[in-house]
Structure 1
Amino acid sequence: MAANARNQLTGAQETPPPRPATAAPPHRPTGPLFHAPAAEDAVDGAPWPPEDDGNAPAVTAGAGEAGRAGMTAGAGVTGGASEAGGGHAGTVTAPMSAAMGSMPASMAPVPVPLPGTAGPLDTPQPLRSHGCWYPSVDPSGTYVAFICDRGGVPQLWTGPVGGSEVHLLDSDPHPVKEVAWSPDGSWIAYTTAPGGGEHTRVLCVRPDGTGRRILAGAEPGSSAYLGCWQHDGSAVAVTVAEPVLPPGGAETEEGPVPVEPGLADPDTYTVSRPAGWASRDGRAVLLGGPHYGDAGPATQSLDQARTGTDDEAGRAARVHRAHGEETGRVDPEGTAGGGLAAYLVDPLGVAAPALVAVERGAATLRVCDLSRDGRLALVRRGPRARREALVVRTADLRTTFALPVADGDPWIGRFSPDATTLWLRSDAAREFAALFAVHLDPAGRRLGLTVAAERADCGLELLAFGHDGRTAALAWNVRGATELEVTAVTAASAGDARGAAVTAASAGDARVGPSRTVPLPHEVVTRIPQVDGRAGLVLALSGSQRRPGVWWLFEGTARRTAWSSRDEDAVPPGRPPVRPVPLRLTARDGLPLGGWYYRAPGRGPGEPAPCVIHLHGGPEEQERPVFNPLYHELLGRGLDVFAPDVRGSSGHGRSFVDADLGTGRFAAIEDVADCAAHVVMDGLADPMRLAVMGRSYGGYLVMASLVWHPNLFRTGVAACGMSDFATFYAGTEPWIAESAAHKYGHPEHDRELLHSLSPMTRVDALRVPLLTVHGEHDTNVPLGESEQFVRAARERGLEAELLMLRDEGHDFLRADSRRIYRRTAADWIERHLAG
């Protein structure tokens, strides 16, 4: 952990508040759901998250309540590494010796027992307002494991679907990010982010809170990511990222004590880094593989699949992939650095980890499903906007089938019970993702492929299946809201042996339907953990009027779980939540744009208001009509909010996502100005009181908008944004750099383009005050990205501050940090838009 931050205004050493003591173990439920710990378990004692109130001290600055703590600075792409960091679409899984040369023995995860940290029914001083998300249902359909921030940080809880008593299974302060209950009910696997940073680890625990252990990611500098369970519950798939060690093996990074409030001088201070965190030498580090601007058969095959073409080069590339051969785009000797390996891990450690897939230079690698007999694995890999689904034969680790798939939810598909059909969510050769049925032979090779379910103007966003494999839930993204249907699915006949004679328009006799539409109490479905069974349909929902929660639909009636979020706590008493209205506009080059407008309570319809243009991250994220406490903080100050989707956003088709590639990013910056002009011309916003705000890629757009359009906005708030692509590539994680190269440009091949797109290049044009916000452990967009922009603004005589949040990474996960962030930002904007 980093040393306690020093208050930059007073010089006093700040001490974080004490952590709650580890609580006594909870009541141990009995019955078939909860298993008594086995003898070998005997251990002593054993997003998208909602934006809300937590447990992290912060170094703060600016005006108002949060600002009195002080400002500091430090170091900086957005998104793209939520699974395992790094990828390319060329060479695929092969035996470890062939694909990665010699892999360190430490890459194979070994369970590490831990002391118990189960908590009581509730944590001390629980948040009155909280959210629940990422549910996973036990095989009986009676209990749900889920993530909840009622204790101030996202933690692992369990509770009955139809009851109110909940249990905290891990009271450690490390935020939980994913949860998966084993199919046999014996274990709950989950991913945590120690210190709130980007390096994650995978743990598992018994449903009664005993037997907690680390499955992977315990080694300093490494990361591990959760995959699917084997269908019998005997092992769970885990992806391990090879540690990226600092030069010379150093475990700390030396740096300066700030010589002026809020900024660091490189000669006078020391920042402690967690053991194994890499310091960088100023050069961009990528994992290898094809990048934006490269040519070759590997990238050709993906482009052909998206456009429907199929020439000899594309077929040759697919042959290479099918046989696990190199295509000239990898680094078999390991000189590029970094690598990913996916294993099946026995939580008890009795059986040795079994290798499922391995790659050098992969942006992501996740095992999404295994056939019931264990012969085949469905693997998702690749960088943003170039994801790919692979069918891997587990006996020899050869890839037998590959198809491009859409960004978004990583759980892309599932095998039918007899593995004759692979159901897949894909946007191959399409504008919008659809449900594909892939007919497979016994060796996992494709016999036929067809589109089983599609919509002309919207994409398939979530795909889930019942335990018997005969029922599926399809969630369609319709202009930001969800339309949900449950349908019957019939796999292809196992006896169909037409082989190569089957055309791409056929998938045997795989069928979908009949379907029924499911009415929803919220606008957006974020996860579907159960489709059938005792509890019926279980959903994680989020909407504009309520905090994220878990609902279940039984016999046609939607019921909210008793332990889920409470609607009456959404906003302060006496002020109802604001429901946004959709806005449509046209960019200066004719591209249709849209977004959601939030009107501050009490303001007349014809009265122009001070307005904040809020820009989401990604850029492949989408603005959705879901409850956002940040927006309601701003609305409570009398500020309107317009949250648009500029080009590059998801939810509007593949062409829209790709419209910001290369020089298209200049047009994305112009989109921000066009959005501001639209709300002014519509009479909604006051042209003299406009602010711009965003996080991650949105933070980059804030800085870019302020220097490209210096007279448009009165102020800006940029959180975790890139200010210079050269320093970003030199400081980010290698797997994030690998993925970013496909989106923004290659750090070497496209150096001039990236230089011209960097806000630091035009910082002389900055005219207005700026607040930046960053997590101290952000290795996605390093802290220095905010620091250097603030320093440059101050050198030019402008007001600029940096709010650094302790124990946070790229995503602000702790409730206290999120509250400080939104209140400091609202104070800043309100002060600069006053009058």
Structure 2
Amino acid sequence: MSTRSTMSRRGWLRLAGGTLAALQPLFGDASLWAAPARLGENMTADGVPRFEHHALGGERELPALRFAGWHPVKPEMLVLMRRGPSQQLHRLAGPGLAPEPLTEGRDGVGSAKWEPTAGYLVFTRDQGGNEAWRLYRLDAGGDAPVAITPEGERVSEYAFLPAGQGLVYLQERLDRRPRPGTPVEDDGEDGGEDERVEAPRVAASGVESALAVDDGMKDVGQEGAKDAAREVDASKLLSTSPALANLWWVDPARPQERRLLGATAGRLTGLRVSPAGRVLAMVTRDGRSQTLAFALDGSGARAPGAAARLGLGTGERTEDILWRRNAAVGEFRHLVRDDVAHGRHRNELTDVGADLEGLAEPPAGSDRPLALVYNVAGVSALRLYRPGTSPVEIAQDLAPGVIRGVSWHPTLPLLGFEQVSAESPSRLYVHALEEGTTRPWSAAGEGVPLRSAVLRWKSFDGLEITGLHIAPPARFTGPRPVYISLHGGPSSQARPGYVAGVLRALVEQLGMHLVMPNVRGSDGFGKTFLKLDNGRLREDAVKDVSALLDLVATRSDMDAARVVVAGGSYGGYLSLAVATHESPRLAGSICRVGIANFVSFLENTESYRRDNRRAEYGDERDPAMREFLTSISPLTHAEAVRKPLMVVHGRNDPRVPFGEAQAMVAAVRAQGTPVWFVSASDEGHSFTKADNRAYLNQASFEFVRRVIGGISLER
């Protein structure tokens, strides 16, 4: 029995529930009558038979807190935590205290930041997972949120100006609309399974930069340094009226008062506000990138260094310093010091040999050091750095994991951050600079942590590929089935983290090996490795997974006849590609929000990200590249998928359009292969609503249980 209609499902459940309740006295213990797994409120399960709810263990949502920012004066945090169906904004007044909710609703909050005077805060929220992030003002008195930005626009980055001068934000035009007949939830308010693609955070400030760009600043000491202050012709990059990407100034207290500072038919990224109040952003158009300083009166933009003559900002500083990361020298991202006033930059700490993945600049006027987060073989190392000295590592007693959201308190010598590890899905910490101590502000996870080891194998060309491996408990003997989980990106990385929900159940209840590969193109291994899957090299990453299957076949503890491959987003493409190339060696595969046809994907993804994706995958407008992209697309080879497939997709996905899933499902079913197709009308590129996630976890576990056990998927 397939579940296609939400209304018919509810009616059936009411009828079935009443019948079972009436029969229970006749047949004894109610535990013999397991309840069916229940669809989320806005979900559709096409081709999925009725199945019983599983006690997955660790299924209950743990109180994972995400650090959003500090109060400007008080030692308290803004944190994001699930409340009801979605992630909402909370206030955390101190270590060990209960978070106080600030927002509610079915749609979640993406990020938040206090205005420097603490009169109000600003947060982001989308609708139904569509990633059309809007800015909202929430006053300190707790009144209802007020929308700052118009509906139908997407805010990608935002930052406050100093001294109460308002807020600047980057906005991108959206050109996709829901298909006719596709329901979109509208309840007036604004990942997925545990291995889901995470809902993106909208950047509150742009301190990051791309791996390698022309940022428009000169190296200190370079011949002709006076050119750093020379004005550039921005007319070839910028527009005089709103375009695809726009930079706006707004007074959040009077949202109707906004002013266009810059616009381009290309992309605007890397929004930064200097200590003196200068507004910088990187403009990319037609393959050219340039960092420009924008006048607050909307009169134009110039190269950094020319900004002083325009009277930007409020300070009279001889130096106006910002810090960022880049990979201009060597294989890894390193620290870069930008002197905005003079248009110069200096590369620092270029010989660390590890990727600089995050940094926190000290507040203007303070004597605090920079906080640097390095990715050392997948594990985060937190270091404090004062220019001219060597970085000093702190928080060394923490369990190995990933550190995110590192941020200095605006007025107090406190450094906040969150960490994901095998012990906790996300735990908050604060380092007190004066005492030199690091203490938790939230509790650790529950249960016995599942720790990973590094698995290594050689690919077709001799390149060493690594992945994380979690073995099943010792009570499972003999060759055990294998679950291969492929990360998205592609420039992402499988790293040590917390395993719960469906993944934990696969390991502990089904006795599966969990392998999380870092195929070529993954981040954290240097620029050369990162580029090894670009353009026409795309299927080399698929061959890395094939080489992993070769390894599985040689191991006595792994059952090569019972392998499931799964992934989300780019990992969804990989899972489909492996299913077309390696179907005889698989038991089944799962694709979540994955690319089925590179050409239709590039033509239909949101235009604000299309050129960026063309740089990664190839330009489908070129006839030769179009032919190549078609030839490697899983949809082209759908007839080769002979093992069961599960497809998961949100109908509001702006990145990988829903049509990718529909086309692949139809093509695979056309040649007789069973497909489970799970979708939701209130989700986008990840499943974030609690009820949707609960069913998705249940269905994923049931799918895997059946394919490795030889159980029919159709009844």
Is residue 2:235 matched to residue 1:325? Answer: yes
Q: In the TM superposition, what is the alpha-carbon distance from 1:622 to its structure 2 partner?
A: 0.8
Q: In the TM superposition, what is the alpha-carbon distance from 1:477 to its structure 2 partner?
A: 0.5
Q: In the TM superposition, what is the alpha-carbon distance from 1:166 to its structure 2 partner?
A: 2.6
**What is the CA–CA distance in structure 2 between the aligned matches of 1:825 and 1:341, rounded to whole Å?**
41
1:311-341 alpha-carbon deviations (Å, 9 max, x no partner): 99xx9x99999331317xx8x699xx95111
Change (3 A) 1:245 1:607: closer
Is residue 2:281 matched to residue 1:379? Answer: yes
1:208-235 alpha-carbon deviations (Å, 9 max, x no partner): 422621111x33x322234111122441
1:532-554 alpha-carbon deviations (Å, 9 max, x no partner): 85462211111122121211123
Is residue 2:705 matched to residue 1:834? Answer: no
**What is the CA–CA distance in structure 1 between the aligned matches of 2:674 and 2:76, rounded to whole Å?**
53
Q: Which residue of 1 aligns with 2:437?
A: 557
Q: In the TM superposition, what is the alpha-carbon distance from 1:60 to its structure 2 partner?
A: 2.7
Which residue among 614, 618, 642 is the counterpart of 1:767? 642
- The question of whether the paired residues in 1 share the 8 Å contact of 2:266 and 2:283 is answered with no
Which residue among 527, 530, 548 is the counterpart of 2:405? 527
Which residue among 514, 518, 539 is the counterpart of 1:641? 514
Is residue 2:300 matched to residue 1:397? Answer: yes
- The question of whether the paired residues in 2 share the 8 Å contact of 1:473 and 1:531 is answered with no
- The question of whether the paired residues in 2 share the 8 Å contact of 1:142 and 1:535 is answered with no
1:474-485 matches, cutoff 5 A = 474-485=372-383
Q: Which residue of 1 aligns with 2:179?
A: 253
Q: Which residue of 2 aligns with 1:271?
A: 182
Q: State percent identity of aligned pairs.
A: 24
1:424-435 matches, cutoff 5 A = 424-435=324-335
1:617-632 matches, cutoff 5 A = 617-629=488-500, 630-632=502-504
1:287-366 matches, cutoff 5 A = 302=213, 322-326=232-236, 339-349=244-254, 352-362=257-267, 364-366=268-270
| Deviation larger for 181-190 or 703-712 | 181-190
The structure whose RCO (Cα within 8 Å, separation 6+) is larger is 1
Change (3 A) 1:272 1:208: same
Q: In the TM superposition, what is the alpha-carbon distance from 1:483 to its structure 2 partner?
A: 0.6
The AA in structure 2 aligned to 1:459 is: D
Aligned length: 633
Alpha-carbon RMSD: 3.7
- The question of whether the paired residues in 2 share the 8 Å contact of 1:60 and 1:802 is answered with yes
Change (3 A) 1:618 1:735: same
**What is the CA–CA distance in structure 1 between the aligned matches of 2:116 and 2:374, rounded to whole Å?**
27
1:381-432 alpha-carbon deviations (Å, 9 max, x no partner): 5599998755445564324159xxxxxxxxxxxx998643332211124310
Which residue among 152, 156, 163 is the counterpart of 1:225? 156
The AA in structure 2 aligned to 1:271 is: T
**What is the CA–CA distance in structure 2 between the aligned matches of 1:778 and 1:685, rounded to whole Å?**
36
Q: Which residue of 1 aligns with 2:467?
A: 595
Q: Which runs of 5+ in 1 are unaligned?
A: 1-5, 18-52, 70-125, 247-251, 255-269, 276-298, 403-414, 490-510
Change (3 A) 1:15 1:526: farther
**What is the CA–CA distance in structure 2 between the aligned matches of 1:822 and 1:417, rounded to whole Å?**
55
- The question of whether the paired residues in 2 share the 8 Å contact of 1:54 and 1:152 is answered with no
Is residue 2:580 matched to residue 1:584? Answer: no
- The question of whether the paired residues in 1 share the 8 Å contact of 2:422 and 2:497 is answered with yes
- The question of whether the paired residues in 2 share the 8 Å contact of 1:190 and 1:226 is answered with no
Which residue among 136, 143, 150 is the counterpart of 1:210? 143
Is residue 2:147 matched to residue 1:162? Answer: no
- The question of whether the paired residues in 2 share the 8 Å contact of 1:486 and 1:518 is answered with no
Change (3 A) 1:622 1:390: farther
Q: Which residue of 1 aligns with 2:415?
A: 537
1:132-147 matches, cutoff 5 A = 132-147=65-80
Q: Which residue of 2 aligns with 1:662?
A: 535
Q: In the TM superposition, what is the alpha-carbon distance from 1:656 to its structure 2 partner?
A: 1.2
- The question of whether the paired residues in 2 share the 8 Å contact of 1:372 and 1:417 is answered with no
1:358-507 matches, cutoff 5 A = 358-362=263-267, 364-368=268-272, 370-374=273-277, 376-380=278-282, 382=284, 390-392=292-294, 394=296, 396-401=299-304, 419-440=319-340, 442=341, 444-446=342-344, 449-467=345-363, 468-470=365-367, 471-489=369-387
Q: In the TM superposition, what is the alpha-carbon distance from 1:180 to its structure 2 partner?
A: 1.5
- The question of whether the paired residues in 2 share the 8 Å contact of 1:371 and 1:417 is answered with no
- The question of whether the paired residues in 1 share the 8 Å contact of 2:137 and 2:147 is answered with yes
The AA in structure 2 aligned to 1:610 is: P
- The question of whether the paired residues in 1 share the 8 Å contact of 2:415 and 2:431 is answered with yes
**What is the CA–CA distance in structure 1 between the aligned matches of 2:541 and 2:406, rounded to whole Å?**
33
Q: In the TM superposition, what is the alpha-carbon distance from 1:357 to its structure 2 partner?
A: 3.2
The AA in structure 1 aligned to 2:425 is: R
- The question of whether the paired residues in 2 share the 8 Å contact of 1:775 and 1:805 is answered with yes
Change (3 A) 1:681 1:160: same
Q: Which residue of 1 aligns with 2:482?
A: 611
The AA in structure 2 aligned to 1:8 is: R
| Deviation larger for 135-144 or 344-353 | 344-353
The AA in structure 2 aligned to 1:178 is: S
Change (3 A) 1:469 1:701: farther
1:147-158 matches, cutoff 5 A = 147-158=80-91
Q: Which residue of 1 aligns with 2:27?
A: none
Change (3 A) 1:128 1:609: closer
Q: Which residue of 2 aligns with 1:77?
A: none
The AA in structure 2 aligned to 1:223 is: R
Q: In the TM superposition, what is the alpha-carbon distance from 1:305 to its structure 2 partner?
A: 10
Is residue 2:56 matched to residue 1:60? Answer: no
Q: In the TM superposition, what is the alpha-carbon distance from 1:809 to its structure 2 partner?
A: 0.5
TM-score, normalised via structure 1 length: 0.69
Which residue among 8, 20, 24 is the counterpart of 2:4? 8
- The question of whether the paired residues in 1 share the 8 Å contact of 2:469 and 2:514 is answered with yes
- The question of whether the paired residues in 1 share the 8 Å contact of 2:323 and 2:338 is answered with yes
**What is the CA–CA distance in structure 2 between the aligned matches of 1:16 and 1:457, rounded to whole Å?**
60
1:663-702 matches, cutoff 5 A = 663-702=536-575
Is residue 2:122 matched to residue 1:189? Answer: yes
The AA in structure 1 aligned to 2:353 is: D
**What is the CA–CA distance in structure 2 between the aligned matches of 1:54 and 1:143, rounded to whole Å?**
38
The AA in structure 1 aligned to 2:639 is: D
- The question of whether the paired residues in 2 share the 8 Å contact of 1:472 and 1:531 is answered with no
Q: Which residue of 2 aligns with 1:825?
A: 700
Is residue 2:682 matched to residue 1:807? Answer: yes
Corresponding residue SS for 1:824? helix
1:506-539 alpha-carbon deviations (Å, 9 max, x no partner): xxxxx45563433252411011122685462211
Q: Which residue of 2 aligns with 1:730?
A: 603
Is residue 2:50 matched to residue 1:178? Answer: no
Which residue among 546, 554, 567 is the counterpart of 2:445? 567
Q: In the TM superposition, what is the alpha-carbon distance from 1:149 to its structure 2 partner?
A: 0.8
Change (3 A) 1:274 1:831: closer
Corresponding residue SS for 2:535? coil
- The question of whether the paired residues in 2 share the 8 Å contact of 1:305 and 1:429 is answered with no
Q: In the TM superposition, what is the alpha-carbon distance from 1:457 to its structure 2 partner?
A: 2.5
Change (3 A) 1:663 1:702: same
**What is the CA–CA distance in structure 2 between the aligned matches of 1:548 and 1:199, rounded to whole Å?**
26
The AA in structure 1 aligned to 2:182 is: V
Q: In the TM superposition, what is the alpha-carbon distance from 1:565 to its structure 2 partner?
A: 5.0
1:545-593 alpha-carbon deviations (Å, 9 max, x no partner): 21212111233433222xx45422xx5xxxx221011122222112221
**What is the CA–CA distance in structure 1 between the aligned matches of 2:60 and 2:346, rounded to whole Å?**
49
- The question of whether the paired residues in 1 share the 8 Å contact of 2:216 and 2:291 is answered with no
1:277-328 alpha-carbon deviations (Å, 9 max, x no partner): xxxxxxxxxxxxxxxxxxxxxx9x958999x9xx99xx9x99999331317x
Change (3 A) 1:516 1:418: farther
- The question of whether the paired residues in 2 share the 8 Å contact of 1:416 and 1:423 is answered with no
Change (3 A) 1:172 1:655: same
Q: In the TM superposition, what is the alpha-carbon distance from 1:674 to its structure 2 partner?
A: 1.2
